[in-house]
């Protein structure tokens, strides 16, 4: 058995050459070199990220600006349109040893990848040339969110809060005051009833609020707002069966099936909430900061942004934070680090903030009215945008098996939200199936 075992492992390692390549070259960060020595050879590195066409344009501009600086490092942008294909691509290129040198990750993917020892620990490099004033301005939560076991594996690239986008025309028509900080779940239901129209004529129908058909981005906001969460403090247990978590999920369900002010998944699986909002059929749409840019360009849409309505405990909304990391397989780690510093630094952040597609990760820039969401370009209340992000924003929890845990949760929450499984049963299934993944 043992020799068979050995044979199998030799055989596989020959075939899976790729993994070996991925782990072969490692360039240890050493303090004191780098900066003093500018005699580096010209190198080209690859930077990969995902996003829509506007995001792509923004990042290509960022790369162009960096390349013009003639640091000896040339960056090539590799854009992937959809996020679900993005991680597949990152992981397969890592396996074949052809991963890009700089990879953009959602903060909890930084954690998951770092836990598998495939990212470069940046802690020493940060200490070496990114301390004091340069680093100090990074928002602390974001830095914290990109750590694994106390070590820093990425520098923040951008972030953004979660807001209620509302259609002023529908509010005016229903005679409802625009949502503000006084709004709670109760207000949402009471005013929501005035805003929705369950007309038999589908063309006249309007909804107060909507969620994506698949239990995705939003359910965690409602869980938080009721005081619930995915994990307990030390992540030794899941909290799906806690009364508070359930209360948040129940609230979403009630909006669809009891109060009937939100469309159920049979509608949103075909017409996304964002489309309902854009076509004037939805009064309130909750999503990330990126939509400020999207709606600013929209014709015939009179809109504003507000905080999320406050639940029994708080009004948290998730922060979409991303950071840049270097894979262990990169052959140009120092060059990659130069680019990461540029993006995280003031100049890079200014370029990213200018388009308003997300919030800068540095305090000073965030507060600078001329650089981030200038009033002449964006017709919104800047203070809501900033406070919604800084005070009411919360990072998604991290776990090395996050993707699998999330998939289990979605699978059963989907069934709950289409009304074919009870809440107790769905949360019990999640507990049973996802608890083994905590190990």
Partner 1 sequence: MVVLLKGSNKDLPVAVWFILPSFIGFAIFTGIPILVALVLSFYDWNLLNTPKFVGFENYDTLFRSDPIFMKVLWNTLYFVLGSVPLSIIIALFIAVLLNQKLKAIAFLRAGYFLPVISSIVAASLVWKWIFNPDFGIINDFLRMIGISNPPKWITSTAWAMPSIIIVAIWKNLGYNMVIFLAGLQDIPKDLYEAGEIDGANKRQLFWHITLPLLRPTTFFITIISIIGSFQVFGQALVMTEGGPGISTNTIVFYIYQNAFVFFKMGYASASAWVLFFIVLFFTAIQSKIGKRRGAL
Q: Which residues in this chain contact partner 1 in the complex, by CB under 8 A? A: 5, 8-9, 11-13, 15-16, 19, 22-23, 84, 88, 91-92, 94-95, 113, 116-118, 202, 213-214, 264-267, 269-270, 403-404, 407, 411-412, 414-415, 418, 420-421
For partner 1, the closer of residues 5 and 70 by Cβ is 5
- DSSP class of residue 206 equals B
Nearer to partner 1, 165 or 402 (CB): 402
Q: What is the DSSP string of 121-182?
A: --HHHHHHHS-HHHHHTB-HHHHHHTEETTEE--EEEEB--EEEEEEHHHHHHHT-PPP-TT
Whole-angstrom Cα distance, residue 122 to residue 22? 19
DSSP 8-state symbol, 309: P
At its nearest, how many Å lie between partner 1 and the CB of residue 170?
19
For residue 125, is it left (φ>0), alpha (ψ between -120 and 50) or beta?
alpha
What are the C-alpha distances in Å from 422 to residues 60, 229, 321, 386? Answer: 47, 19, 33, 38
Nearer to partner 1, 23 or 31 (CB): 23
CB 23 → partner 1: shortest distance, Å?
8
Strand, helix or coil for residue 184: strand
Q: How far apart are CA 217 and CA 403, in angstroms?
A: 13
Walk across the sheet containing 73-80 and list its strands: 73-80, 43-50, 102-106, 322-325, 155-158
For partner 1, give the closer residue by CB, 183 or 230.
230
| Distance in Å, CB of 359 to partner 1, minimum | 29
Write down the least CB distance from residue 22 to partner 1, Å: 8
What distance in Å separates the CA atoms of residue 283 and residue 296, rounded to the nearest whole number?
Answer: 17
Burial class (CB in 10 A: 0-12, 13-18, 19+), 89: middle
Q: For partner 1, which is the closer residue by CB, 142 or 276? A: 276
Judged by CB, which is closer to partner 1: 67, or 404? 404
Cβ 94 to partner 1, closest distance in Å? 6
How does 153-175 read in b/e, with b if 16+ C-beta sit within 10 Å?
Answer: bbbbbbbbbbbbbbbeebbeebe
* Least distance to partner 1, CB of residue 253, Å: 15
Q: Give the Cβ contact number of residue 421 at 10 Å.
A: 17
Q: Quick one: 158 or 427, whose CB is closer to partner 1? A: 427
- Residue 2's H or E segment, with its range, is helix 2-15
Give whichever of 8 and 190 is closer to partner 1, judged by the CB atom: 8
Contacts of 244 (CB under 8 A, 6+ apart): 223, 226, 227, 228, 312, 313
Least distance CB 325 / partner 1 (angstroms): 13
Would you say 359 and 353 are in contact if contact means Cβ atoms under 8 Å apart? Answer: yes
Smallest distance, partner 1 to C-beta of residue 44, A = 25
| Smallest distance from partner 1 to CB 333, Å | 17
Q: How far is the CB of 275 from partner 1 (least distance, A)?
A: 12
SS3 at position 252? helix
Indicate the residue among 54 and 418 with the shorter CB distance to partner 1: 418
> Which single residue is written with the structure tokens 């934070």?
321
Cβ proximity to partner 1, 53 vs 200, nearer residue: 200
Long-range (24+ apart) CB contacts under 8 A made by 268-273 are 268/210, 268/211, 268/212, 268/213, 269/213, 269/214, 270/213, 272/212, 272/213, 273/210, 273/211, 273/212
What does the block give as tokens for 324?
């840049």
- Residue among 227 and 329 whose Cβ is closer to partner 1: 329
Q: How far is the CB of 13 from partner 1 (least distance, A)?
A: 8
């Amino acid at each position: 058995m043992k020799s068979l075992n050995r044979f199998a492992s030799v055989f596989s390692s020959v075939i899976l050459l790729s993994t070996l390549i991925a782990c072969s070259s490692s360039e240890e960060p050493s303090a004191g070199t780098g900066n003093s020595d500018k005699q580096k050879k010209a190198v080209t590195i690859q930077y990969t990220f995902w996003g829509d066409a506007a995001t792509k344009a923004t990042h290509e501009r960022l790369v162009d600006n960096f390349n013009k600086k003639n640091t000896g490092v040339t960056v090539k942008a590799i854009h992937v349109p959809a996020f679900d294909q993005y991680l597949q691509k990152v992981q397969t290129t890592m396996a074949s040893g052809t991963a890009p040198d700089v990879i953009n990750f959602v903060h909890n993917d930084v954690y998951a990848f770092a836990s598998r020892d495939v990212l470069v620990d940046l802690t020493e490099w940060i200490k070496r040339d990114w301390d004091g004033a340069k680093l100090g301005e990074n928002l602390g939560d974001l830095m914290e969110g990109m750590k694994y076991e106390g070590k820093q594996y990425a520098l923040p690239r951008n972030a953004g809060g979660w807001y209620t986008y509302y259609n002023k025309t529908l509010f005016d028509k229903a005679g409802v005051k625009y949502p503000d900080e006084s709004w709670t779940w109760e207000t949402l239901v009471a005013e929501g009833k005035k805003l929705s129209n369950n007309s038999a004529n589908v063309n006249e129908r309007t909804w107060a609020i909507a969620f994506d058909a698949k239990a995705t981005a939003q359910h965690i906001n409602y869980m938080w707002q009721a005081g619930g969460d995915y994990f307990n403090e030390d992540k030794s247990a899941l909290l799906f069966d806690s009364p508070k978590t359930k209360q948040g999920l129940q609230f979403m369900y009630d909006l669809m099936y009891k109060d009937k002010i939100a469309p159920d998944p049979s509608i949103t699986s075909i017409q996304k909430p964002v489309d309902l909002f854009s076509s004037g059929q939805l009064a309130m749409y909750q999503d990330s900061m990126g939509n400020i840019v999207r709606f600013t360009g929209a014709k015939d849409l009179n809109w504003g942004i507000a905080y999320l309505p406050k639940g029994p405990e708080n009004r948290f909304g998730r922060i979409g934070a991303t950071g840049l990391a270097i894979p262990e397989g990169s052959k140009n780690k120092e060059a990659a680090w130069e680019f990461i510093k540029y993006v995280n630094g003031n100049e890079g952040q200014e370029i990213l903030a200018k388009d308003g597609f997300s919030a800068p990760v540095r305090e000073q820039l965030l507060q600078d009215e001329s650089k981030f969401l200038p009033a002449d370009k964006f017709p919104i209340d800047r203070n809501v945008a900033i406070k919604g992000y800084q005070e009411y924003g919360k990072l998604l929890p991290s776990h090395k098996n996050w993707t699998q845990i999330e998939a289990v949760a979605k699978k059963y929450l989907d069934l709950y939200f289409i009304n074919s499984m009870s809440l107790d049963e769905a949360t019990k299934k999640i507990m049973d199936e996802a608890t083994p993944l905590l190990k």
